[in-house]
Structure 1
Amino acid sequence: MRFAEELGTSHGRRLRRGVLDDGRAVFVKSGPASEVLVSEAAGLRWLGEVAAVPEVIEAEPDRLVLAWVREERPDRAAAERFGRMLARMHRAGAERFGAPWPGFIAELPMDNADAPDWATFYGERRVLPFLREARLPASDVALVERAVARLPEVAGPAEPPARIHGDLWSGNVLWSCGQGVLIDPAAHGGHRETDLAMLDLFGLPRLDRVLGAYREEWPLAEGWRERVPVHQLHPLLVHVVLYGGGYRDSLMAAVRRVLSL
């Protein structure tokens, strides 16, 4: 393989476009050996059983090689196709909450151990661990803990574990060949509303079309829109941990909305 273009860095890892000996273009992510890239590859393969993802060509602790995704602008048909695909992916399900591989979001570890229900999993495996790392004022910590205590009341109807991407912001959806292609997953068995809330958090082109097609494929439980801030607690805490207090106001606004449900 030869390298054709430097693409910068992301979370301490070098990104490059390469060309294999057979002429295929590839995306290469490399850096210090760790479980992060192997975990990403496991998630891509799992999601790829039922959704569009880049082919995993090589996965080593220090290097991940994926088929290159040629990007294009999404149109209405692509957005609707993506919504239906996302619903089918979620519906494919998972054996349990969490996953059998180590979890990561960016370079931050996540506990993928099972839990008896989603509210417990989300509170104990996703929200509280990041709250302990966020260095928030004690008053903020107390409010987040109150919101976590309310999760069993505000989580909505119980659903079986869905097969979710886990970090589905707009930058992790590439548009290619008339469909959305998923990259950089934090894949695990979780709640399907989590992926949809993440798309809403940072915006996605033609999101209304995506959600409309999703609901035609697999209707959402009543009250799902009101539960969006519940599912945004974790990603907002992740951003506080990674990038500092600039995301505190958004986090605390979501917390107050959860407490008002």
Structure 2
Amino acid sequence: MEEDSLPADLVADLQVQRATPVRGGDIAQAYRLDTAHGPLFAKTHASPSPGMFEREAAGLRALREHCPEEVGVPQVLRESSSGLVLEWIEEDGMPARQTEVALGRSLAHLHGAGSGPGVDGSGTSGDPVGFGGLAGDSHGYLGSVPVDLTPTPSWPEFYLRRRLAPLVTRAVGECRLDPAATGILSELEPRAEELCGPISSPALLHGDLWGGNRLVDTTGRNWLIDPACFWGHPEVDLAMMQLFGGFGPECLDAYQEVSPLADNWRERVPWYQLAPLLVHAILFGGGYGAAALRALTRYR
């Protein structure tokens, strides 16, 4: 692939010698850019959703600001409405025990990043203004599915009304989910506080932490990529990590050494897996809608 096939605003003056397609997810096209100064990573989309790459860049910057140094987050070198250029990570792909321990500890520290300001934070790029988007941003994406990030001081209200209800409505409307899910969610709403579990202040979340969004480099260091960051409940990230696998038991053990989880957290795992299951039902169909309905039904 030639340099002039990539968006000019991303590659201008980078001295790209070759662009090679690499794996980069189901939404964007990803490339290794070999340049005169070393390799870089680029991702682009011919028709991106509004603000998609800008919000990813903001999430990467927030993670870089708050993650312990043990965990790497790629530096954003270029951004535009059509794509990103990031530093290149030379992957090894084989997490060892110490890699899992480092991730668990670092994730616990990351989730503590919002514990000081609480829900009345100042609204700077690093502080939560409630449960919701970075710096009060009201729009975001899970994959390519738009989600409402309008901040609210109540986590149960955010999770039920901003996250689950719109996703259930869309999935039902697109015939990806049994319409019974709408009534079940309404039945559960009065119990939202109980179902969501205790939380005192917002945590900075990766927001889409499945195994493919954790890389391990040739030195054994963890890297977090492709975030869908927002301020929310730490158990959201932990539930996502358990949905598709890819993380060793040492990771969760190390997390709990730093930040012990609340009572009955395991009972809430399917509750917090609902949102990604609904997104997958919308995007891919298959058995994801049935899995989401089963998760909802267990809480009746």
TM-score interval, smaller chain:
over 0.9
Which residue is 1:118 aligned to? 155
Which residue is 2:192 aligned to? 151
Residue in structure 2 matching 1:212, options 234, 247, 253:
253
Structure 2 distance, partners of 1:145, 1:240, is 20
Which residue is 2:95 aligned to? 74
Q: 1:241 to 1:145 in 2, by over 3 A?
A: farther
* Per-residue deviation, residues 49-91 of structure 1 (Å, max 9, x unmatched): 1222111111111110111111221000000000000001010
**RCO comparison, higher one (Cα < 8 Å, 6+):** 1
Residue in structure 1 matching 2:29, options 14, 17, 39:
14
Structure 2 distance, partners of 1:147, 1:2, is 56
* Per-residue deviation, residues 137-169 of structure 1 (Å, max 9, x unmatched): 322322233334432222222320000011111
- List alignment gaps of at least 5 residues for structure 1: none
Which TM-score applies when normalising by structure 2? 0.81
Which residue is 2:132 aligned to? 98
Which residue is 1:26 aligned to? 40
Which residue is 2:167 aligned to? 130
Structure 2 distance, partners of 1:3, 1:149, is 57
- Please say which structure displays the higher CA radius of gyration: 2
Structure 1 distance, partners of 2:24, 2:254, is 35
Which residue is 2:124 aligned to? none
Q: 1:155 to 1:28 in 2, by over 3 A?
A: same
For residue 256 of structure 1, report the CA deviation from its aligned partner. Answer: 2.2
* Per-residue deviation, residues 37-59 of structure 1 (Å, max 9, x unmatched): 11000001001112221111111
RMSD: 1.7
Structure 2 distance, partners of 1:129, 1:108, is 11
Residue in structure 1 matching 2:237, options 180, 195, 212:
195
Task: Say if 1:37 and 1:62, in contact at 8 Å, map to a contact too.
Answer: yes
Which residue is 1:55 aligned to? 75
Structure 2 distance, partners of 1:3, 1:254, is 47
3-state DSSP of counterpart to 1:114: coil
> Residue type matched to 1:61 in 2?
S
Number of residue equivalences: 257
* Per-residue deviation, residues 108-152 of structure 1 (Å, max 9, x unmatched): 111111112111001111111111110223223222333344322
Which residue is 1:65 aligned to? 85
Structure 2 distance, partners of 1:145, 1:68, is 46
For residue 8 of structure 1, report the CA deviation from its aligned partner. Answer: 5.5
- List alignment gaps of at least 5 residues for structure 2: 1-15, 115-126
